Amino acid sequence: MRNIQFALGLAALTLGGVGIAGCSTQTTAEAAQPLTEAQADAVLADFAEAVGSMDLGTIDKWYADDIVAFDAGEPGRISGKVSMHVANARFVDMKFDHAEMPDAKIQILGPDLFIASGLAHLTSTAGKVKEADYRYTEVFQKQADGSWQSIHEHIDAAS
């Protein structure tokens, strides 16, 4: 009988996500606030601003250490931050100084993960004015420090 009373008491303590001594039994994912499309749009706008800055350090900060990327100007897969830095340096050398990413398709996968895809329009006012259009897919993940970084990027030329 005593075992049944103990089991019932323990069950009562764990109902509603509260464990012994009032400790929550919810997981981090359950406790995290949902990501809104407006928040994801703001992350993408900040990313576009960084790309348009043509500042290599500012652009590099947007990529995770273990980034995997495919770029229209690079043969094969780009793996890791060092390889991404080299690709970003080549991009900066192209002297595009403005990036627009209108009408992005945002797919929220969780409170700390989303995909943004669409068309990007790049322009340059340095020297001869030039333009380029690209299709992109970026997978952004929220980092432990609260910042967002791309963990996967795929870019190819739009015809």
Q: Which amino acid is at 32?
A: A
Instruction: Measure CA of the first residue to CA of the last residue in the chain; give whole Å.
Output: 76
User: Which positions ≥6 away from 49 have C-beta within 8 Å?
Assistant: 99
User: What percent of the chain lies above the pLDDT cut of 70?
Assistant: 79
Residue 139's nearest CA partner among 74, 66, 90 is: 66
Please tell me the distance from the alpha carbon of residue 87 to that of residue 78, in angstroms, as a whole number: 8
Give how far Cα 37 sits from Cα of 132, 136, 140, Å: 27, 18, 13
Rounded distance, CA 91 to CA 122, Å?
11
Residue 86: its pLDDT value, please? 95
62 φ/ψ angles, rounded to the nearest 5 degrees:
-85, -5
What pLDDT score does 35 carry? Answer: 96
* Tokens of residue 92, six digits: 């900066």
Q: DSSP letter for 36, please.
A: P
* Distance from C-alpha of 63 to C-alpha of 59, rounded to nearest angstrom: 8
The pTM for the full model equals: 0.77
DSSP state of 80: S
Write down the pLDDT at residue 118: 96
pLDDT given for residue 13 in this prediction? 34
Q: What are the strands, taking DSSP E only, across 19-129?
A: 63-70, 77-79, 98-100, 105-110, 113-124
Q: What is the pLDDT of residue 41?
A: 95
Domains and CATH numbers, the chain: 1-31 (no CATH), 33-157 (3.10.450.50)
Each residue's pLDDT tens digit, 24-72: 444 554 456 899 999 999 999 999 999 888 899 999 999 999 999 999 8
The model's pLDDT over 89-146, given as tens digits with 9 standing for 90+, comes to 998 988 888 888 888 999 999 999 999 999 999 888 876 778 889 999 999 999 999 9
pLDDT of residue 129: 72
Q: What is the pLDDT of residues 67-96, one digit of tens each?
A: 999 998 888 999 999 999 999 999 898 888
